[in-house]
Structure 1
Amino acid sequence: GQEVEANMIKKCPDPINLRGKCSESGGVVACAKSYNRKNPSGCSCIDYDEKGRCCL
């Protein structure tokens, strides 16, 4: 678990947390909205501790 967390922080220093899992909360589309982007292609969503985390 620790290694995954460290890698995530490196890849994603400033994540935005969704209210629920990616699949339940709109995934990358919701992430794009959170970052005020029209195109979700640069965004990713990772489930962590039952919550979706958005990264750029």
Structure 2
Amino acid sequence: MGRLAGKVAIVTGAGRGHAEAVARRFAKEGAAVSICDVMPVQDLEAKVGSEIRA
């Protein structure tokens, strides 16, 4: 169990850069992560969403 288990994180700009890394790390630590970005949702899902969902 990670340090963020039971927590919820909302990460904006998660399609690239630091925010993408933060979203991945929060998910790894057990948080439920909601991501958003200006890129189309299908692209964001393919790039980041499917990985942090696992």
TM-score relative to the length of structure 1: 0.25
TM-score relative to the length of structure 2: 0.26
